[in-house]
Amino acid sequence: MAFSNEELERYSRHLILKEIGYKGQKKLAEAKVLIIGAGGLGAPAAMYLAAAGVGTIGIVDADVVDLSNLQRQIIHTTKDIGRSKVESAAESISAINPSINVRTYNTRIYSENILKIIEDYDFILDGTDNFPTKFLINDACVMVNKPFSHAGILRFNGQVMTVIPHESPCYRCVFENPPKKGEVPSCSEAGVIGAMAGVIGSIQALEAIKYITGTGELLTGKMLTFDALTMNFRTVPIKNRRSDCQICSDHPTIHKLIDYEQPVCEIPSGEVLRENKGNE
């Protein structure tokens, strides 16, 4: 493919990077990235992927825009309240980069539909805020070998990791099963600082760009955590896939996707990782 003069100007700051250049920009233009969740994490990720020139961006979300979303979900505006999140997100993406092909899925992710939705994409971003969907995304991506970025935010904490199925540790290698009911507060109960979504969601977009272009080192085999109160980034090594992992080991025990109950927000990264020291 050949870029137009307008596209050459649009992506000029990428084109002068030796790590990206024309070849890398062409890879971005031909790539397909799916973002599950058009909320706090998905909002900045979608905007930066569109700006970067990712050719096809899919957005999955069944919710409508609520006033309380606007504190962190910057892809939506006040005029979008009551509107479908995927419709609002698609409009914002197209406003940033009209050449992007946007696919919308106004639905929740379940075991019955996730494999069909993710099958046509090169990279998946988990921008969800609940454990059932996070485990479902992990298991589905591992089953069909789709690389993906996991992230979670709560209060002033964020975490992000990238999974290349059967090569790097997966989400279940770190968090074996969803927490029990009542163990974890929801975002509405515990709160979340809005800018945290921008920090972590942008890192997810960067991981997708690096994967597509083959540039740099991915967050595979490690979890990046961020404490906004202390401005401390920490990389926690997750050296190996668990030999007894239920989904990505050589002898998995999960052969069918599971729809867990009781969605809750991601717990703070520091608390999670202290409970999983055995896998560092």
User: Catalytic residue numbers?
Assistant: 187
82 known member of a binding site: no
Confirm whether residue 245 is marked as ligand binding.
Answer: yes
User: Is 129 annotated as a binding-site member?
Assistant: yes
What gap in Å lies between CA 246 and CA 232, rounded to an integer?
A: 32
133 known ligand binder: yes
Q: Confirm or deny that 85 is annotated as ligand binding.
A: yes
265 is in an annotated binding site: no
141 is in an annotated binding site: no
**Annotation-wise, does 124 bind a ligand?**
no
Please indicate if the annotation marks 66 as binding a ligand: no
Residue 173 counted as an annotated binding residue: yes
Q: Is 181 annotated as a binding residue?
A: no
3-state SS, one letter per residue, for the chain: CCCCHHHHHHCHHHHCCCCCHHHHHHHHHHCEEEEECCCCCHHHHHHHHHHHCCCEEEEECCCECCHHHHHCCCCCCHHHCCCEHHHHHHHHHHHHCCCCEEEEECCCCCCCCHHHHHCCCCEEEECCCCHHHHHHHHHHHHHCCCCEEEEEEEECEEEEEEECCCCCCCHHHHCCCCCCCCCCCCHHHHCECHHHHHHHHHHHHHHHHHHHHCCCCCCCCEEEEEECCCCEEEEEECCCCCCCCCCCCCCCCCCCCCCCCCCCCCCCHHHHHHCCHHHC
155 is in an annotated binding site: no
Location of structure tokens 């092909």: 101
Annotated binding site for Zn(2+): 170, 173, 245, 248
Annotated binding site: 13, 40, 61, 72, 85, 109, 129-133, 170, 173, 245, 248
Annotated binding site for ATP: 13, 40, 61, 72, 85, 109, 129-133
